[in-house]
Amino acid sequence: MHPVECLAVWLGRLPFSEALELQMRICGLKKQGEGPDVLLLVEHPPTITLGRNGGREHLLVDEETLGRRGIEMHHVDRGGAITYHGPGQLVGYPLLMLGKGERNVRGYMRNLEQSLIDLVAAYGVAAGREEGYTGVWTPGGKVAAMGVHISRWVTRHGFALNINTDLTYYDLIVPCGIIGKSVTSLCALLGRPLDLEEVADRYLPCFGAVFGRTMTAVDRGFLESIFGGSPGVQSEM
């Protein structure tokens, strides 16, 4: 079976609501059988999201405090509870039409975890899974959170991998509603900051290998030319 093409787009820093609108538009067309698979990679301004499992009780400050600190809050239809997105964090949104052999939600989540385990291993960090929980874990704490939405076997939402993230923002919440578990970042584990776009580039072969996709890096303009918008450029990875 030939690998499926997947367009990978680095969007830079983008408001959460704008990235969500883009996801919805692409997934709406994919449910109609239009367009290739897409991997959106993005960095968000400070944002707290609440998933289908709620987690409002795990917000440790009031909304006025969030507003004063310039932190947005959104209720979304992904799995999971409360989490944080912000500068220095690589957020990935795979928008895939799962093939017949891929239509297993647990298997999809495991593959997403594995792609991130492989990525952090490329930086010399040993990571794995924690029994009973989703995400990617290291001896120093959880380095990546995950929450997805799958409808008609089209995937949406995805993961948040802490690279240079300011971890003090996690003091505002109980991350993912898990009490007694710490969070960490690649910067904290390695003792040095990393270039976020470079990490995004290194993720593409990890994702492609696990999911059996041929990754093609494109700009947002090229993506919009397929799913509605203006022309852009592409390059094989």
Q: Tell me: the pLDDT tens digits for 15-67?
A: 999 999 999 999 999 999 889 999 999 999 999 988 776 667 778 888 888 88
Whether the predicted pLDDT of 172 surpasses 50: yes
Q: What is the pLDDT of residues 57-114, one digit of tens each?
A: 778 888 888 889 999 988 888 867 788 999 999 999 999 999 999 999 999 999 999 9
pLDDT at 231 > cutoff 70:
no
User: How many other CB atoms sit within 10 Å of the CB of residue 206?
Assistant: 19
Mean pLDDT estimate for the chain:
90
Quote the pLDDT of residue 87: 98
6 is catalytic: no
Asked which of 144-148, 160-164, 177-181, 200-204 is least confident by mean pLDDT, the reply is 177-181
> Which pair of structure tokens corresponds to residue 215?
């990754």
Which of the following is catalytic: 6, 176, 187, 206?
176
Edge-first strand listing for the sheet containing 154-162: 136-138, 141-151, 154-162, 89-95, 37-43, 4-13, 213-218, 234-236
* pLDDT number for residue 62: 86
Lowest mean pLDDT among 139-148, 154-163, 179-188: 179-188
Domains, the chain, ranges and CATH? Answer: 4-236 (3.30.930.10)
The residues, ordered by sequence, that sit 6+ positions from 206 with a Cβ below 8 Å of its Cβ are 115, 116, 118, 119, 122
Do the beta carbons of residue 110 and residue 117 sit within 8 Å? no
Q: What is the pTM of this model?
A: 0.91
**Is pLDDT of 230 > 50?**
no
